[in-house]
Structure formats: structure tokens, C-alpha cells
Structure 1
Amino acid sequence: MKYSKIPLSQTVVALAEAYEIGHVVISPGSRNAPLTIGFTNNESFKCYSIVDERCAAFFALGIAQQTKRPVALVCTSGSALLNYYPAISEAYYSNIPLVVLSADRPKHLVDIGDGQTIKQANIYGEHVHYSTNLKLDLEEDINDLEDDEVHLLKNIENKLERFLGLQKGIQAYNETEISDALTKAYLKSGPVHINVPFEEPLYETVSTPTISIKKPTIPLRKSSFDEIELKECLSIWQNSKRKMIVVGVLEPNSIEHQWLQQLADDNSILVFTETTSNLNHPDFFPGIDKIIAPLVEDEFKKLQPELLMTFGGLIVSKKIKAFLRQYKPKHHWHVGLEKANDTFFSLSKHIRKEPNSFLDALFSSMTHYSKSDYKKMWEEVRSKRREMHAKYVKDIPFTDFKVFSTLLANIPKQSMLQVGNSSAIRYTQLFQLHKDIEVFCNRGTSGIDGSTSTAIGAALASKKRTTFITGDLSFFYDSNALWNNYIPNSFRIIVINNSGGGIFRILPGHKNTSNFDTYFETKHNLNAKSLCNMFGLEYYDAGDESTLKEVIQDFYKGSEVPKLLEIFTPSTLNDEVLLNYFDYIK
């Protein structure tokens, strides 16, 4: 087994192994060679080589999303680690643990005109939970010491004692900082940054490590909720006749069925779910916008909750945000270990407990239920909306709306669906998916960058059959994601190509002008066929409903390479069909 000769590299790798970081995504470089040598020669790590650092970071994000454990990113010095930033910010807001290990030059070589050097200290600012700059290993060289220390080194024993003492202090500092960073990645479930300076030579190896570390205890995230808080919550809960639960991004199987059933059985509770909530029950209310969008003022007042409880991460629906900001609840509780977002400007309590265990504690202590017709009224609305939805979809022309209706009905059961941002996730929200389909989307920052890379990393880590649906701009923006040797053969990409940023046609603004076409919608004539040829994907295309229904069956058949289906829709008709939808279902 080979080890880098540099003690600092050995320390980083040894502690990464001790903290059970199993996946390491490496982008090529020279300054990070000591880390690359250490990780790739250790069988405890599954290492991946991704050239484009932005893609590498989102690929790692996808792995961490599925494994729920920190994934390490290794890059060289300079602008390389800046390319991680979009994924780091997404990880921060999506509560996904990433560990950035950025190689750096020694301090005396920064800002003197040396190549590939920038100010790397604290480069991610407040978008990481911990940032540290490790100390450079000492060399046994009197020239490295301060002038006023030289006279103390009278003999070789004196010199050696001084050197070993300083090195021991540096080693202790580095071990502590690395451990603190990795502990934060676990406890905060988010990104951390460890900046690692190396002096040349970088490629020398040894067969036996020169350092040893104490095996740490892997930290566990703890809840904070006492009996007094429970009694307060119980009183408010039992006396509220209009309780609304809104669920954002949530991992599959986060809440046991018995608690979901108790929520469903209570007529004073409305449970609004999004596709990314991965909560399914026939008595819940998916498709939030279908309920909210057509309401008038009197109906809004009837829907206004006394108590709002939120689970999970960020929420897609703009309409529920606007509604709850105007018609505020008396109480808003957020349940979860992560940060509580005051999305509706009414947050009154952050219950630091996993939703499953909080509901267990709540329902186990309940003594009575409030009589209410809150849910019954909205069940009738939901039924009418679904009926009108089915009629509308049946008669519309071939557009984005029609395409999503067809695609989502054909996603294989017991599989994973990864969705791109912008219009892709918003269309997906309007449809009910089969309960066996797990849904994920980068909703932390809601950017279009990196969605393809994330989906590939997630598919690799989960080993589940995965479909990724995205828009054309998002796909072409992240096309280097396909420069990846780890894409599973069962991976399927569906690109909705409406020749631009179609969502901007839905938003208010002047349309059908050269300014709009160029700077907002960003019209183009690109297609994905050549990219598929270059990266070795099997290519399909469709431009009408009959062709789509024909190719979709073959698209999901087994293959020796991944497949991509590109669907061309009319750019000038999509917005009209979507906007008319909300008028129709009234």
C-alpha cells in the first residue's frame, strides 16, 4: 500500500477513513497529488475522477443525497475550488454533507505572482458550517526558523528537540481542525471546507505511514425537545380546529404510516404535499397550486389555518407562499433538526426533533380531537379540481403540459425520479405520481446548474432505476455532466426542448420582442443528438404525441448504455396552455 510521504496528507486521509467517508470525488491537478495518492491507494474509499469541478461537486452532492453521509471533494489550488461553489451553496441550503479538501500552496507563495494561486482561506464564507486552513508540515531545516530562534540551536540535539516539538504542535492542531470540520459535516448535515497547503515535492511516496491517529467516535445528531414544550404544543394542537401541514423536500420513508394515517383521519387537518415531499396518502392534498390558484377572497379566508406545521426543506409552490404570507396562521411550527425557515413570516416555534418522533410523542399524548369540517370542505374542492384537470389535459395540444402528463404516467414503478429546476419541477407539481416513485430536485438554491450531474451521482449511489427530466437550457448548461465514466446503463435522461427558457414566457413581461427572445427566453436551435454521439448515449427524439407514446415504451427497455429522449415542443404555445389551465379548473 502506498502513502504520500507528506504527513499532512496522511493525516487528512487517515481521519477521513476514521470518520467513515466512503466516497471521494477527485478532479485532476498537481497540487492535490498527495491527497490523490492517499485516497486512491486506500481500499476504504471509492474514488471517482471528474475533470470539471462544477460537475464533480454536483455529482458528489447526488451521492451524498442518497447515502446521507459526507462525501469528500478533492481539487487542486486556484480557481478549481471556485467551481465547487454552486454545489456548495446547494448543499448548504439542502442540508447535504460535503467535505471540500482543497489543496493550496504555502502561504509565502500566495499573491507573489505564482500560478494557480488565489486567496483560498474562508473562500465559501457563510455557505459552509466550518472552514479551516491547516498548517504546513515543518522541514528539518534551520533556515525555516525565525532569526531570533537560531541562537538557541547550539547542537544537533537541541535542534532536533526544537523541530520535533514544533511539528508535534502542528500535527495536534491539524488533527483537531480536521476532526472538528468532519464532526460539523455530520452534526449540521451540510458542507465544510478544509484547505490543505502542500510544499513540493508532491509525488513522493512511502510504504509505511509516519503518523498515527486516535480513532474518533462518529457523532450523532441529537434532538432537543422536552416535556414542557410537548405540553404547550399539545394544548394548541388539540384546541385548533383548522390545522394545516405543508411538507417540503423530505426523504422517502421519513414518517411511519401509522402517523400518516392519524393525520389523515383527523378532520381538522389538511396535509399539503409536494412531489419532493415523498409523502403519499389518498387523503392528503398533492398538487397545491391546483387548490390554491383559483380561489377567491372568501375561500382564502376559509382556508386560512389557525395552526401551520411544516416539515422538510424548501417549498416549490409560490402560490402557497403568497397565500400564507397574506393569511397568516396564529402559530407556525417547523419540525426538524435543520434550520427552521421563516418562509411565511409567522414562525413561532422550531421543534428540533425528527418529524416521525415528534408525531409519535404528540399522538401518544393526545386526550381528545377537535370537531371540525375544515378538511371535508376542501375534499370537495380537490375532487372537482382533479376532474377538471383530467378534462383539460385530454383536450390540449402537444405542449409541455401534455408531455409531462404522458411522461409522468410512464415513469417505472419502484424507481427514482430526479427533476431539473425551473419549469420542469413546476409542471411535475401539477400531477400525481405513483407512490413507489421517489422524487428529488435541487431546491436548496433552485438553480438550473448541476441538475444532470446530481442525478447521475444519485443514480450511481442508490443503484435504483433513475429517470431525470430537465429543460433544454438546464441540460445544455450542465452538458459536461455526461463527461463521466460512472453513468449507470439504466439511467434515463428526458430533455424537454422548447428552444429556450420557456418559464420566462409565463412570468410577467413583454414577450415576442427581440430583446425578450435574446436576453430572457434565450432562444436557440440546439439539440442533444451530437452530445449523445460524443458521450456514448443512445438517442431518441419525439415531436408529437403519437411518436412520444411510441418511443417511450422502447426508451425504458434494458440497454448496455444510458439513454436520452429529447422532446421538441412549440415555444410560443406552452405558456398559453399553462396559464389557461388555472382559469379552466376554476
Structure 2
Amino acid sequence: MKYPKIPLAQTVVQLCKLKNIRHIVISPGSRNAPLTIGFTNDSFFNCYSIVDERCAAFFALGIAQRLHEPAVVICTSGSALLNYYPAISEAFYSDIPLVVLSADRPKHLIGIGDGQTINQKNVYENHILYSANLKLDLKVENGFATKEELPIFKSIENKLERFLGLQQDIQSFNETELNKAFNTAWFKNGPVHINVPFDEPLYETVNELTIQPKSNDISFTRPTIDQTELKNCINDWDVSTKKMILVGVLPPNQIEQQWLDKLADDDSVIVFTETTSNLHHAKFFPSIDKIIAPLENANFKALQPDILITLGGLVVSKKIKAFLRQYQPKHHWHIDVKKANDTFFCLDKHIVAQPNDFFSAFLPKIKPVIKSNYFDTWMTVKRHRSKKHLEYIKHIGFSDFTVFSLVLKSLPNKTILQLGNSSTVRYAQLFNLNPSVEVYCNRGTSGIDGSTSTAVGCAAVSQKQTTFITGDLSFFYDSNALWNTYIPNSFRIILINNQGGGIFRILPGHKNTENFDYFFETKHDLTAKQLCEMYHIDYTTANNEIELRENLKTFYKKSNTPRLLEIFTPRTENDSILLDYFKYVR
């Protein structure tokens, strides 16, 4: 086996191995060559080559998001690592363990006008859990230290002894920093940055390891729920007749079914779930906006909870945010091991625990349900809205709304759904999903910039079929996501092309003007046909409901290439159909 000659590169690679970090996404470059040599020559690692750094980082994010374990992304020095920033900020706000390894030049070559050089130290400081800035190995030629950092000694023996001591100190420092960074990614679930300086020559290899770093593992203890705080929660809960649980982004299978059932059987509790929550129960309330958007003020007052419990990541629904900010609960508790966002400006408890751990400690101790009509009232509203929803679909023309209704029902059992941002995830909120489908979406920063790359990374490491639903601007923005060889043949893309940024037509503002079309909606006539030809993806189109229904019959079946279905919808009609929907279901 070939190893990089540089001790620092050996240290990084071997510690990744000791930490059981297997997935390595490499953006080609020269300064990162020692790392590339180390990772690609070791069969322990699964290595991927992604040229576009922004796509590479989101690809790695998709891997980490799917596997719930750290994925590494590696780049050369200079502006390359700045292209990782969108994915790093998404990982930061979505609690995804992403490890960035950026190669750097030696300190004496920074700030003197050398090529591909920027100030890389702590470059992500506002959106990173840990930054490790490693030290350059001391260099030896012909058995003697040549670095100017070494002091001048009277004898060769003293000089060599001093050199060996300094190098040992550097090695110890680097191992300590690497251990801290890797442990942070594993146990705090977030991005870390490791800046790794290398001096030339960069491509030399050796047949044996010269460094054997040590893994400084830490034991992870699940947070212990404060018993006084738990007792206070139970006391407040037992005297409240209106409790609301709101679930944001949550990975699948996070809460045991027995606790979901207990919550569902409580007449004083309503559970609002978003599409991204991956929680399902017949008595829960998905499609929040379908219920919230048409309400009058009197209804809002009746919906106002005494206690609000939130869990999971960020919430998509702007309607529920506006409602809870105006009609604040007496108590708002957020359950999370890391952080609690005061989204509704009334947070009074951050319960540091896994949601399942909290419910297992809390629910067995509460009193029998007190009499309440909170659930029954809102279940009546839910049934009414669902009935009107089905009626509305029957009499509208072909549109984004129709497409989502048909596409979401077509998803095969036990598959993965990746959603693009903007209007895509918001439309998905209005429909009930197959409970066996796992849902993912980049809701940390809610950007459109890396949705396709994330979906491809997820698909590359998943045994299940992955379907990605996206809008046209998001898809074309991130089209380099298809520039790799790791897209499985089972991967499916559903591209809803309404010839612009359709969400801007839904938002308040002047429409159908040249200024709006050009600067906001960004009207275009692009299609994905040529991209699919270039990247060897099977391409199909649908322009109406009949064509869409026919294509969906075979779209998910086994194939020799990935498939993309581009659905063209009427640009100037989608917004009125959606806005009229909320009036109709009222």
C-alpha cells in the first residue's frame, strides 16, 4: 500500500480511520494531494471525486444526513474552501456532522502574493462547531532540519535534539486538535473545519507508515433530565386543557410508537406535524397550512394552546409561526439536546434531552386526561378541510397543485423523498404522505443552492430508491450536481418547470410587469433535455394530467439509467389556483 510521505497527511488519514469515518468526498486539486493519496489508496474508505466544490460539500451533506454519521469533504487551498460555505451553514443549522479538510500553504507563503492563497484560518467561524488549525511538520533534508523556525545551536547534536522535540510537540498538538474535531462532529452533530498546511513536495509516497497516531475517544452520556424541571412540567401539563405539540424537521423513527399513541389518545392534545417531521398517526394534524391559513380570528383564539411543546428542527409553515407569535401559549417548552430557538418569542423551558427520552420519562407520570374538547374541535376542522381539499382538486385545471397531488400519491412504498426548497416543500405541506416514505429537505438555511447535490449524495449511499422533487430554478442552479459517476440507476428526479420562480407570484407584490418577470420571477424557457443527454439520464416530459398519469405508471420501475420527468405547468395560473385553494377550503 502507498502512503503519503508527509507525516501530517498520514496523521489525518489514520485518525479518520480510527474514528470510523469512511465516506470521503474529494474535490481535485494539488495542495490536497497528500490527503487524496492517503485516502484513495486505503480500501477502508469510500472515496468520491466531485469537481465542483459547492456540489461536493452538499453531496457529502447528503451522505451524512442519510447515514447520521460524519462525512468528510476535502479541497485544495484558496477560494476552493469558500465554495463549501453554503453546505457548512446548512449543516450548522440542521445538526449534520460534516467534516471539512482544507489544504493550506505554509504560513510563510500566506500574504505574500502566492497563488491560490487566502486567509483560511477560522474562515467559517460563525457557522462551525470547531476549527482546528494544524501545524506544519518540520522538514528534514539530509538528516538536518532546514526550517527557519529552528534556533541556531552551537552543536549538531543540540540542533537535532531540539528539532526532534519540536516535531514531537507539533505531532502531539495536531493529534489533539484532530481528536477534538472528529469527536465534536460525532457527538455534537455539526460541521467542523480542519485546516491542514502542506509544504512541497506534495506527491511523494512511502511503503510504510511513519506515524501511528492515537485516537482519544470520549464516552457519550445521554443527557439526564432534571427531575425538578420534569415535575414542574407534569404539574403544568396536568392542569392544562389545551396542549399543542409542533414537530419540525425530524429523522425517521425518532419516537417510539407507544408515546405517539399516548399523545394521540389525549383529548387535550393536538399534534401538528410537518412533511419533514417523519411522524405519522391518524389522529395527528399534518398539512398545517391547510388548517391554519383559512382561519378567522375567533378560531385562532380557540386554537391558542396553554402549553406548546416543540421538537425537531426548523418549521416550514409561516402560518403557524405567525399564529403562535400573535396567540402565544402560557408555556413553551422545546426539547433538544443542543439548542432551543425562541421562534415564537415565548420560550420558557429548554429541556435538554432526546424527544423520545423526555416522553418516556414524562408521559407515564401524567394524570389521566382531564375533560377537554380541544382535540375534537380541531379534528372536526381537519375533516372539513380534507373534504374541501378533495373537492377543490376535482375542478381545477392542470397546475403545480395538481402535479403535487398526483406525484406525492405515486411514490413507491419504503422509498426516500428528497424535497427541494422554496415552493416545492411548501406545496408538499398541503398533502398527506405515504407513512412508509422517508422525507428529507435542507431546512437549516432553506436555500435552493444545493438541493440536487444533497439528494444525489443521499441516493449514493442508500439501499432504498430516492426520488427528488424540485422546481426549475433550484434544479438549473445546482445542475453540476449531476456531474459525477455516483448517481444510482434507481435515482428519480421530478422537475416541475413553471418557467420561473413561481413562489414570487404567490407572495404579495406587483406581478406581470417587465421588472417583476425579469428580476423576481426570473422568467426563462430552459428545459432539462440537453442536461439529461449530457449526463446520460433518461428524459421524459409531461404537459398535462393525462401525460403525467401515464408517465408515472412506469417512472419508478427498474431501469439502466437514472430518470428525470420534467413536468411543464402554466406559469401565470399556478399562483391564483393556490391562493384560491385557501379560500375554498374555508
Could you state the TM-score of these two structures normalised by the residue count of structure 1? 0.98
Partner of 2:554: helix, strand, or coil?
Answer: helix
Q: How many angstroms does 1:371 deviate by?
A: 1.7
8 Å CA contact retained: 2:495, 2:565: yes
Distance 2:489 2:149 in 1: 59
Task: Trace 1:476-487 onto structure 2 (pairs within 5 A).
Answer: 476-487=476-487
Q: How far off its partner does 1:155 sit? A: 2.3
| 1:211-230 matched pairs, under 5 angstroms | 211-217=211-217, 219-220=219-220, 222-230=222-230
Distance 1:128 1:241 in 2: 42
Q: Does structure 2 conserve the Cα–Cα contact (< 8 Å) formed by 1:504 and 1:520?
A: yes
* In structure 1, distance between residues paired with 2:149 and 2:471: 59
Per-residue Cα deviation, 1:415-448 (whole angstroms, up to 9, x for no partner): 1110000000000000001110111110000000
1:550-574 per-residue CA deviation (whole Å, 9 max, x = no partner) reads 1111211110100000000010000
Cα distance, 1:182 vs. partner? 1.0
- Equivalent residue for 2:147, pick from 121, 144, 147: 144
* Equivalences for residues 19-418 of structure 1 within 5 A: 19-140=19-140, 141-146=144-149, 149-150=151-152, 153-217=153-217, 219-220=219-220, 222-418=222-418
Higher mean C-alpha deviation, range 214-223 or range 424-433: 214-223
- Structure-2 change in CA distance of 1:413 and 1:146 (3 Å): closer
Amino acid at match of 2:38: G
- Long gaps (5+) in structure 1: none
CA–CA separation in structure 1 for the residues paired with 2:391 and 2:538: 35
Conservation of the 8 A alpha-carbon contact between 1:62 and 1:454:
yes
Structure 2 residue identity aligned to 1:226: D
User: Given the superposition, is the C-alpha separation of residues 392 and 221 from structure 1 closer, same or farther in structure 2, using an over 3 Å criterion?
Assistant: farther
Partner SS state of residue 554, structure 1: coil
Distance 1:113 1:9 in 2: 25
Q: Which amino acid aligns with 2:317?
A: S
Range with greater deviation from structure 2 (278-287 or 181-190): 181-190
Q: Which letter does structure 1 place at the counterpart of 2:59?
A: F
Specify whether residues 157 and 375 from structure 1 end up closer, same or farther in structure 2 by C-alpha distance, changes over 3 A only: same
CA distance in 2, matches of 1:534, 1:142: 52
Asked whether the 8 Å contact 2:79–2:118 carries over to 1, the reply is yes
Give the distance between the partners of 1:112 and 1:221, measured in 2 at CA.
47
Read off the aligned partner of 1:511 and give its amino acid letter: K
1:40–1:221: structure 2 CA closer, same or farther, 3 Å change rule? farther
Which amino acid in 2 is paired with 1:423? S
CA–CA distance in structure 2, aligned partners of residues 432 and 55 of structure 1: 31
Distance across 1 between alignment mates of 2:357 and 2:33: 45
What does 1:402-551 correspond to in 2, within 5 Å?
402-551=402-551
Q: Does the 8 A contact of 2:267 with 2:369 survive in 1?
A: no
- Native 8 Å contact 2:541 2:565 kept in 1: yes
SS in structure 1 of the partner of residue 521 of structure 2: coil
Identify which range, 226-235 or 568-577, moves more after superposition.
226-235
8 Å Cα contact 2:96/2:189 also seen in 1: yes
1:441-479, Cα deviation, whole Å (9 max, x unpaired)? 100000001101101111122221111000000000000
**Residues 218 and 459 of structure 1, relative CA distance in 2, 3 Å threshold:** farther
3-state SS, counterpart of residue 575 of structure 2: helix
Offset of residue 143 of structure 1: 4.6
State the distance in 2 between where 1:408 and 1:281 align. Answer: 18
- CA–CA distance in 2 between the matches of 1:395 and 1:134? 64
| SS of the residue 1:548 aligns to | helix
What SS is found at the alignment partner of 1:494?
A: strand
Report the AA paired with residue 41 of structure 2: N
> Aligned partners of 1:30, 1:219: CA distance in 2, in Å?
37
CA distance in 2, matches of 1:134, 1:59: 25
**Matched AA of 1:304:** Q
Give 1:8's aligned residue. Answer: 8
The AA in structure 1 aligned to 2:18 is A
- SS state of the match for residue 520, structure 1? helix
- Aligned equivalents of 1:299, 1:180: Cα separation in 2: 52
Matches of 1:419 and 1:143, distance apart in 2: 55
Deviation of 1:366 (Å): 2.2
SS of residue in 2 equivalent to 1:92: helix
RMSD of the alignment, in Å?
A: 1.1
Distance change in 2, residues 1:63/1:123 (3 Å): same
Paired position in structure 2 for 1:557: 557
Contact residue 414 and residue 437 of structure 1 kept, 8 A: yes
Q: CA offset at residue 367 of structure 1?
A: 3.4
Amino acid of the structure 2 residue aligned with 1:89: S
- Stretch deviating more after TM superposition (153-162 or 199-208): 153-162
Whether the 8 Å CA contact 1:55–1:480 is kept in 2: the answer is: yes
For residues 367 and 399 of structure 2, what CA distance do their matches in structure 1 show?
Answer: 52
Counterparts of 1:177 and 1:370 in 2: how far apart (Å)? 54
Cα distance in 1, alignment partners of residues 532 and 219 from structure 2 = 43
For residues 185-212 of structure 1, the C-alpha deviation after alignment (integer angstroms, 9 at most, x for no partner) is 1222000000000000000011111111
Instruction: Give the superposition deviation at 1:215.
Output: 3.2
- Secondary structure of residue in 1 paired with 2:461: helix
Name the % identity: 64
Check whether the contact 1:186–1:219 (CA below 8 A) recurs between aligned residues: no
> What secondary structure is seen at the aligned counterpart in 2 of 1:455?
helix
Separation in 2, partners of 1:41, 1:444: 35
Amino acid at match of 2:475: F
SS in 1 for 2:398: coil
Measure how far apart 1:218 and its partner are. Answer: 5.2
Distance 1:38 1:566 in 2: 41
Q: Tell me, what secondary structure is at the counterpart of 1:510? A: coil
Uncovered stretches (5+) of structure 2, i.e. residues with no partner: none
Name the SS for the 1:35 alignment partner. Answer: helix
Equivalent residues, number? 583
Residue 183 of structure 1 contacts residue 219 of structure 1 at CA under 8 Å; is this kept in 2?
no
Q: Distance in 1 between matches of 2:100 and 2:238?
A: 46
Match of 1:28, SS state, is: coil
The CA deviation at 1:221 is 5.7
> Aligned partners of 1:213 and 1:221: how far apart in 2?
25
Given that residues 270 and 284 in structure 2 are in contact (C-alpha distance below 8 angstroms), is that contact kept between their aligned partners in structure 1? yes
Which is further off, 245-254 or 369-378? 369-378
Matched letter for residue 303 of structure 2 = L
Cα distance change of structure 1 residues 418 and 309 upon mapping to structure 2, 3 Å threshold: same
TM-score computed with the length of structure 2 as normaliser: 0.98
2:176 and 2:232 map into 1 onto residues whose CA distance is 41
Q: Secondary structure at the match of 2:195?
A: strand
Residue 146 of structure 1 deviates from its aligned partner by: 4.8
Please say if residues 19 and 218 of structure 1, whose CA atoms lie closer than 8 Å, have aligned partners that are also in contact: no
Distance in 2, Cα, partners of 1:549 & 1:486: 29
**Does the CA-based 8 Å contact 1:186-1:221 persist in structure 2?**
no
Change (3 A) 1:142 1:217: closer
* 3-state DSSP of counterpart to 1:72: strand
Q: Within 2, Cα distance between the matches of 1:109 and 1:157?
A: 30
How far 1:515 moved relative to its partner? 0.4
